[in-house]
Copies of this chain bind each other. A is one copy, B any other.
Amino acid sequence: MDSITSSSYAVHFNAVAYSMLNEHLENANYSKVFILVDENTHEYCLPKFMSNISVACEFEIIEIEAGEIHKNIETCSQVWEVLSELDADRKSLMINLGGGVITDLGGFVASTFKRGIDFINVPTTLLSMVDASVGGKTGVDLGPLKNQVGVINQPIMVLVVSNFLETLEERQLQSGFAEMLKHGLLKSMEYWEQLKNVTSYTDLDALIYESVVMKNEVVLQDPTEQSLRKILNYGHTLGHAIESYFLESDEHELLLHGEAIAIGMILEAFLSYKLTNLSEKELVDIKKEFSSRYKKVDFSSEDIKSILELLKFDKKNSHGNINFVLLTAIGETAIDVQVPHELFKESFEYYQE
């Protein structure tokens, strides 16, 4: 697969990924190479990864606990301190080997350690391959509020090696696929139809590539999210609030990111139908597709109230207004749409129907 060039770095795939990495390590003369993992990627991905390294470097492994709940400043402090203790310097490299928590948090830690050291992202989940791999968003959560602290900073390279997906459970793959379905809704009816045809989450290479190309094109045109890049937030305004709420709640089972934004995409399709002329036929098509892949969640009116409360912390807000990305049709979007408050409850009713 051809490598994809982004602003200042490239995304390399499969066999090419390892040869580019080895070449880079050979030439860059790093003082030390740190690999950030969680207990899962330590066990299942690191051996695979190391067996493809052919360069003699000094490697140090830093392990953090798995899970969104650990994507916070306390974990960053631990990693910064370990880096200090292990004599990391400005010529050190950090390789983030894991899902979105590892690449988001590791990217932030690297971007801020001694005001910034090189880092490479090696996403090991479908979600992080198609989402976190390009765009340069790094950061951590602040309590239940997602990604409130972070910077935009680019890795040196991104390596997408699809056989890491073999280490994942079906539910994880399904969650990641929600972001790809989002790319379909944003890009074209043709890509959406292609994705709808997927019945098994093995052998997604061509579609992963397509999704990375799509996201990369958007991000290159608008790296700092002034306008076009906002479309990538489709489903995420309500989706993030739902994810945050479930993360904090003791009564509910944890929702994976993709599962939360799948609900967000149904809700925001309903808002699109009401506000930006999405046709009823496409609305029904979207609801049907997500409902068939993701299990339905029951929201009490208390739940909904709490979720809507969290909306005000959305990063896209300003001056007290909540700005949505909505669809005008499958493959077409409108940004900065303000939604009358009464429609939120209606959208949850439509989801629950």
Report which A residues bind B (CB closer than 8 A).
31, 73, 76-77, 80-81, 84, 87, 89-91, 108, 111-116, 137, 139, 142-143, 145, 147-152, 312-313, 315-320
The reply to whether A320 and B31 contact each other, CB–CB distance below 8 Å, is: yes
Q: A112 to chain B: closest CB distance in Å?
A: 5
The reply to whether B91 and A319 contact each other, CB–CB distance below 8 Å, is: yes
The reply to whether B112 and A150 contact each other, CB–CB distance below 8 Å, is: yes
In the bound complex, how far is the Cα of B149 from the Cα of A142, in angstroms? 18
Residue of B nearest to A32 (CB): B319
The reply to whether B115 and A31 contact each other, CB–CB distance below 8 Å, is: no
In the bound complex, how far is the Cα of B323 from the Cα of A324, in angstroms? 51
The reply to whether A115 and B318 contact each other, CB–CB distance below 8 Å, is: no
The reply to whether A73 and B77 contact each other, CB–CB distance below 8 Å, is: yes
The reply to whether A89 and B145 contact each other, CB–CB distance below 8 Å, is: no
The reply to whether A150 and B115 contact each other, CB–CB distance below 8 Å, is: yes
Q: A79 to chain B: closest CB distance in Å?
A: 10
The reply to whether A115 and B320 contact each other, CB–CB distance below 8 Å, is: no
The one of B151, B313, B320 in contact with A84, judged by C-beta atoms closer than 8 angstroms, is B313
20 example contacts (A-B, Cβ-Cβ < 8 A) are as follows A31-B320, A73-B77, A80-B142, A80-B148, A80-B149, A81-B142, A84-B313, A87-B312, A89-B317, A89-B319, A90-B316, A91-B319, A111-B151, A112-B150, A113-B148, A114-B148, A115-B139, A115-B147, A115-B315, A116-B152
Q: Is the interface of A mostly helix, strand, loop or mixed?
A: mixed
The reply to whether A315 and B90 contact each other, CB–CB distance below 8 Å, is: yes
Q: A34 to chain B: closest CB distance in Å?
A: 14
Known: A81-B142, A148-B113, A313-B84. A90 touches B31 (CB 8 A): no
In the bound complex, how far is the Cα of B313 from the Cα of A147, in angstroms? 29
Chain B residues contacting A313 (CB-CB under 8 Å) are 84
In the bound complex, how far is the Cα of B104 from the Cα of A115, in angstroms? 12
In the bound complex, how far is the Cα of B146 from the Cα of A220, in angstroms? 36
Chain B residues contacting A112 (CB-CB under 8 Å) are 108, 112, 139, 149-151
The reply to whether B148 and A151 contact each other, CB–CB distance below 8 Å, is: no
Q: A151 to chain B: closest CB distance in Å?
A: 6
Chain B residues contacting A319 (CB-CB under 8 Å) are 31, 89, 91
The reply to whether A81 and B111 contact each other, CB–CB distance below 8 Å, is: no
Residue of B nearest to A142 (CB): B80
The reply to whether B151 and A116 contact each other, CB–CB distance below 8 Å, is: yes
Chain B residues contacting A31 (CB-CB under 8 Å) are 318-320
The reply to whether A90 and B318 contact each other, CB–CB distance below 8 Å, is: yes
Chain B residues contacting A317 (CB-CB under 8 Å) are 89-90
The 5 lowest CB-CB distance pairs between A and B, nearest first, are A91-B318, A31-B319, A114-B315, A89-B318, A115-B150
In the bound complex, how far is the Cα of B142 from the Cα of A113, in angstroms? 10
The reply to whether B115 and A137 contact each other, CB–CB distance below 8 Å, is: yes
Chain B residues contacting A84 (CB-CB under 8 Å) are 142-143, 145, 148, 313
